Amino acid sequence: MKIEDLMELEKQERQKRLQWSVVIRYLVIFIVVFLSWLASQFGASFFLAGILFSVSLALAFNLILSYVYSRKDIAKFWPYLGLVIDMFIITSIVHFTGGITSVFLPLYLLQIVGTNVHFSRLAGPINFFVGTTFFAALFTLEDQGWLTHYTPFPVAPDLHQNYAYIAATGFTLVVLMAVSTYRSGYVVRSLEKVEKELAKVNEDLIRANQAFQTANQRLKELDQLKTEFISVASHQLRTPLSAIKWSLKMLMDKDLGPLNEEQQELIVKGYQSNERMIDLINDLLNVSRIEEGRFTYLFVEQSIDPILRELIEEQKHVAQEKRISLEYDPGKIPLPIVRVDTQKIHLGLQNIVDNALKYTPFGGKIYVRVKPEKEELIISIQDTGVGIPVNQQPRVFSKFFRGDNVIRMQTEGTGLGLFITHNIIQKHHGRVWFESHEGKGTSFYVALPLVKDRTQVWNKTEKLEQALQNF
Structural contact between residues 117 and 78, judged by C-beta atoms closer than 8 angstroms: no
| CA nearest to 289, candidates 234, 337, 246, 237 | 234
Task: Candidates 105-113, 129-137, 292-300, 382-390: pick the segment binding ligand ADP (CB under 6 A).
Answer: 382-390
The yes or no reply on residue 395 touching ligand ADP (CB under 6 A) is no
The yes or no reply on residue 401 touching ligand ADP (CB under 6 A) is yes
The yes or no reply on residue 416 touching ligand ADP (CB under 6 A) is yes
The yes or no reply on residue 185 touching ligand ADP (CB under 6 A) is no
Of the two residues 171 and 400, which places its CB atom closer to ligand ADP in the complex? 400
Would you give the distance in Å from CA 78 to the centre of its chain? 43
Residues 6+ apart with CB under 8 A from 297: 341, 344, 427
**DSSP state letter for 394:** G
Of the two residues 98 and 364, which places its CB atom closer to ligand ADP in the complex? 364
Q: Tell which positions 432-451 bind ligand ADP, by CB under 6 A.
A: 442
Task: Candidates 8-16, 55-63, 254-262, 417-425: pick the segment binding ligand ADP (CB under 6 A).
Answer: 417-425
The yes or no reply on residue 403 touching ligand ADP (CB under 6 A) is yes
Rounded to whole angstroms, the Cα distance separating 361 from 364 reads 6
Residue type, 201: V
Q: Kindly tell me which residue out of 383, 428, 432, 450 binds ligand ADP, with binding defined by CB under 6 A.
A: 383
Residues 6+ apart with CB under 8 A from 169: 100, 101, 105
Residues 6+ apart with CB under 8 A from 436: 387, 388, 393, 442, 443
First-last CA distance in the chain? 34
Of the two residues 377 and 416, which places its CB atom closer to ligand ADP in the complex? 416
**DSSP state letter for 149:** P
Of the two residues 102 and 436, which places its CB atom closer to ligand ADP in the complex? 436
Total number of residues binding ligand ADP (CB under 6 A)? Answer: 22
Of the two residues 95 and 358, which places its CB atom closer to ligand ADP in the complex? 358
The yes or no reply on residue 348 touching ligand ADP (CB under 6 A) is no
Q: Mask: binding to ligand ADP, 305-344, rule CB under 6 A, as x and -?
A: ----------------------------------------
Task: Candidates 49-57, 82-90, 202-210, 378-386: pick the segment binding ligand ADP (CB under 6 A).
Answer: 378-386
Q: Kindly tell me which residue out of 402, 427, 429, 431 binds ligand ADP, with binding defined by CB under 6 A.
A: 402
Helices of type H across 330-427: 342-358, 404-408, 417-427
Structural contact between residues 359 and 410, judged by C-beta atoms closer than 8 angstroms: no
The yes or no reply on residue 384 touching ligand ADP (CB under 6 A) is no
Structural contact between residues 73 and 31, judged by C-beta atoms closer than 8 angstroms: no
Closest separation between CB of residue 366 and ligand ADP, Å?
9
Q: Kindly tell me which residue out of 112, 308, 345, 396 binds ligand ADP, with binding defined by CB under 6 A.
A: 396
Q: Kindly tell me which residue out of 79, 348, 364, 385 binds ligand ADP, with binding defined by CB under 6 A.
A: 385
| CA nearest to 130, candidates 172, 84, 176, 173 | 84
| CA nearest to 147, candidates 139, 135, 158 | 139
Q: List interacting residues with ligand ADP (CB under 6 A).
A: 351, 355-356, 359, 383, 385-388, 396, 401-403, 406, 413-419, 442
